[in-house]
Amino acid sequence: MEIFRVNGGNRLEGSARVQGAKNSVLPIMAASLLARGTTVIHNCPRLSDVDAAIKILTHLGCGVAREGGSVIINSSSVTRHDIPHELMREMRSSVIFLGAVLARCGEAVMSMPGGCELGPRPVDLHLDAMRVLGAEITQDGGSISCRAARLKGRRVNLDFPSVGATENTMLCAVCCDGATVITNAAREPEIWDLQSYLARLGYQVHGAGTPAITVRGADVSGDTEHSVIPDRIAAATYLAAAACTGGDIELTGVTPGHLAAATDALSGMGCRVSGGHDSVRIDASGLRRAIRPIVTRPYPGFPTDAQPPIMAACLQAEGTTVFVENIFENRYRHTDEMKRLGADIRTEGRVAMVTGVKRLRGAPVVSTDLRGGASLVLAALMAEGVTEISGIRHIDRGYDDLAGALRSLGADISRTVTA
């Protein structure tokens, strides 16, 4: 079994470039089905979720190749419209292929994405939106079958600004007759990136970043290239790592505006944060103090994915910080593991109270999910002695060589295999 072994106490210093956004590249890979040509995606991170998406595209009949930091997808001939269970289960967000497969093939068959470590992951908003656009959907046990002899543009209102449901609706709508207006749409930067990719292909999509997105159906085929936006959650994770160690680092290849909620929280803790056009610097050499409540909300609110890393930065801050997790039901599983390192955390439902402690001590801990696992690595950077972190396959889903990046900044972390 592979683990991370961390010897805590090193202060992070230096500069690192941030990976391309996982939550942008995955929907764009699904959208490449609607190119009916060759798409080259640059700034593509090396992640197991990207590998899973490559397997799905290959299964559907696309030609896919990876060249360095780029992925090349030829979707000229898609020969299937089903995604088998074993491919669906490899990636929690594989439901993002639903809209694109339905739009391209007129039908789509896939299994329900199982619940994940964060709690149930329902897809009712996705399916309701597909029905409004003309799909007939049957669910039999764990599988979903969608058929649409004809997709017609309509107004689709989302009860919740779901990121995935917004993306699936956009991808289905580009092949509808007429215009679709999505209201109460998610406003995350990854939605804007998807819109910009679709626009490069020649589709008429407008409004990403606002609650109303308009899509005009079109018959498009062509080749294009697209560079994925920086990963704002990976960036927030590295900034939190610097805060954990009292370090001083600069991140390059970032979009500072996408990081505002996380950098505001870190500034509130007493870190000095400054930004350039595509860089951000954090100097955390001063005393860290507790901050106002961290309440997760849809973008531009505080991102749920940054909750675990920012919590790690609070473990030795002076005072008590309150967290309220509004997006996922079960996103505090990392707290039990943090307590094994000596953290003082009390959770009750959606609320977690984190009181800073003087010392954390290394111990064996288990990653329970992607961002929770990363937060354990950050806590281990502060702990005295050695921490061994297992379950790192969760971390590999969303971070491109997390250990290597932290080592380049001075962390004593290695990836090893244990019996």
Rounded to whole angstroms, the Cα distance separating 192 from 14 reads 31
Report the residue number, 8 or 230, with the smaller CB distance to ligand EPZ: 230
Nearest Cα neighbor of 83 from 62, 67, 69, 64 is: 62
Give the interface segment with ligand EPZ, choosing from 20-28, 37-45, 197-205, 332-340 (CB under 6 A).
20-28
Cis? peptide before 27, omega within 30° of 0? no
Q: Which helix (H) or strand (E) holds 23?
A: helix 22-31
| 123 forms part of the interface with ligand EPZ (CB under 6 A) | yes
CB 246 within 8 A of CB 284: yes
| 110 forms part of the interface with ligand EPZ (CB under 6 A) | no
CB 344 within 8 A of CB 319: no
Catalytic annotation on 116?
A: yes
Give the footprint of ligand EPZ on residues 273-312 (CB under 6 A): 304-305
User: What's the min distance (Å) between Cβ of 334 and ligand EPZ?
Assistant: 12
| 126 forms part of the interface with ligand EPZ (CB under 6 A) | yes
Q: For ligand EPZ, how many residues bind (rule: CB under 6 A)?
A: 22
User: What's the min distance (Å) between Cβ of 3 and ligand EPZ?
Assistant: 21
Q: What are phi and psi of 328, to 5 degrees?
A: -115, 150
3 state SS of 218: coil
CB 226 within 8 A of CB 28: yes
Give the interface segment with ligand EPZ, choosing from 101-109, 124-132, 217-225, 287-295 (CB under 6 A).
124-132
Provide the 10 A C-beta neighbour count for residue 382.
27
Q: Which of 10, 18, 20, 23 binds ligand EPZ (CB under 6 A)?
A: 23
Give the interface segment with ligand EPZ, choosing from 97-105, 118-126, 266-274, 354-362 (CB under 6 A).
118-126
Report the residue number, 7 or 347, with the smaller CB distance to ligand EPZ: 347
Rounded to whole angstroms, the Cα distance separating 43 from 26 reads 12
User: What's the min distance (Å) between Cβ of 106 and ligand EPZ?
Assistant: 22
User: What's the min distance (Å) between Cβ of 13 and ligand EPZ?
Assistant: 27
Rounded to whole angstroms, the Cα distance separating 255 from 242 reads 18
Report the residue number, 22 or 258, with the smaller CB distance to ligand EPZ: 22
Helices (H), 65-201: 85-88, 97-105, 124-132, 163-173, 189-201
Complete DSSP assignment for 269-314: TT-EEEE-SSEEEEE--S--B--S-EEB-STTSB-GGGHHHHHHHH
CA distances from 251 to 190, 255, 283, 292, 410 (A): 20, 10, 12, 25, 14
Q: Which of 327, 352, 383, 395 binds ligand EPZ (CB under 6 A)?
A: 327
Is the alpha carbon torsion for 226, 54, 375, 408 positive or negative?
Answer: negative
| 10 forms part of the interface with ligand EPZ (CB under 6 A) | no
Q: What are phi and psi of 29, to 5 degrees?
A: -65, -40
| 122 forms part of the interface with ligand EPZ (CB under 6 A) | yes
Of the candidates 44, 62, 116, 176, the residue annotated as catalytic is 116
Up-side HSE of residue 257: CA atoms within 13 Å toward CB? 5
Nearest Cα neighbor of 383 from 354, 416, 341, 336 is: 341
Report the residue number, 289 or 350, with the smaller CB distance to ligand EPZ: 350
Report the residue number, 121 or 147, with the smaller CB distance to ligand EPZ: 121
User: What's the min distance (Å) between Cβ of 188 and ligand EPZ?
Assistant: 6
| 114 forms part of the interface with ligand EPZ (CB under 6 A) | no
User: What's the min distance (Å) between Cβ of 362 and ligand EPZ?
Assistant: 25
Q: Which of 2, 67, 124, 344 binds ligand EPZ (CB under 6 A)?
A: 124
User: What's the min distance (Å) between Cβ of 123 and ligand EPZ?
Assistant: 5
For the chain, how long is the longest CA-to-CA vector?
64
| 370 forms part of the interface with ligand EPZ (CB under 6 A) | yes
Report the residue number, 74 or 111, with the smaller CB distance to ligand EPZ: 111
- The 157-196 site mask, x for binding ligand EPZ (CB under 6 A), equals ---x-xxxx-------------------------------
User: What's the min distance (Å) between Cβ of 386 and ligand EPZ?
Assistant: 27
Which sequence positions are flagged as catalytic?
116
Footprint on this chain of ligand EPZ (rule: CB under 6 A): 22-23, 26, 93, 121-126, 160, 162-165, 304-305, 327-328, 370-371, 398
